[in-house]
Structure 1
Amino acid sequence: MKYANALSIVLALAAAPAAFAAGSMDGMDMKPATQSRQAPHPVAAEIKKIDRHAGKVTLKHGPIENLGMDAMTMAFPVKDRADLKNFKVGDTVSVTFDSVDGKATVVEMRRP
């Protein structure tokens, strides 16, 4: 009986570090990950369509690195719809994009 008790104590002690390590993997004891998301940078683009009513602009743009998007032509919501009155189709612009409510959004647009 002594050996059985001793064996169970040794096994419990041997398993304790593994159980402790597994418990710390739940994310609670870990340091927060560093930001891998890049800061927004202006991207060259050409205005293909403006929808002032919907507050959207269709842009042919270069890669948007901070959002992980390749160059393409796509419609985007504009953070400030009033800015759209300053532009027309065909304008070459410098655009800063960011994620707003989970959507790729034009946060700033200006002429280069």
Structure 2
Amino acid sequence: MTSSIKTLAAVLALAAAPIAFAAGAMEGMDMKAPSASSQAARPVPAEIRKIDAQAGKVTLKHGPIENLGMPAMTMAFPVKDRASLSRFKEGDAVSVTFGKIDGSPAVLDMQRK
């Protein structure tokens, strides 16, 4: 019976080792959210390439969006205030504040330059 207890203790020790190792490995890790999500939204220069008022979307050629961690590119975004799209036309130079709506990148505010 003594050898059974020693065997059981050895098996339990081996089973617990990966858990203890993982816990120890996480001690030095920085568990903060990525810096992109912690940055305040700043206006980004952009050019309107297309407006889809019915869908409430605008396609923008924009600079880097730091608060979303996105590089410069051309992309369609939903617009928080669909009615505001009537004030703009394709080719307009704008300043855009981006954020997230329902977890997806979106235009929160857009002003003509």
Q: Does the TM-score normalized on the shorter chain lie above 0.5?
A: yes
In the aligned structure 2, how far is the partner of 1:111 from the partner of 1:38? Answer: 27
Partner amino acid, structure 2, of 1:38: S
In the aligned structure 2, how far is the partner of 1:38 from the partner of 1:107? Answer: 17
Who is 2:84 aligned against?
83
Who is 2:100 aligned against?
99
1:33-76, CA deviations, whole angstroms, 9 ceiling, x for partnerless residues? 65542331110000000000000000000011111111110100
8 Å contact from structure 1 (residues 42, 95) kept in 2: yes
Runs of 4+ with deviation above 6 angstroms: none
Q: State percent identity of aligned pairs.
A: 62
State the superposition RMSD in angstroms: 3.2
- Aligned pairs (5 A) from 1:1-112: 34=32, 36=34, 37-39=37-39, 40-112=41-113
The higher radius of gyration belongs to 1
Which TM-score applies when normalising by structure 2? Answer: 0.69
In the aligned structure 2, how far is the partner of 1:77 from the partner of 1:45? Answer: 15
8 Å contact from structure 1 (residues 98, 105) kept in 2: yes
Partner amino acid, structure 2, of 1:107: L
Structure 1 unaligned spans of 5+? 1-17, 26-32
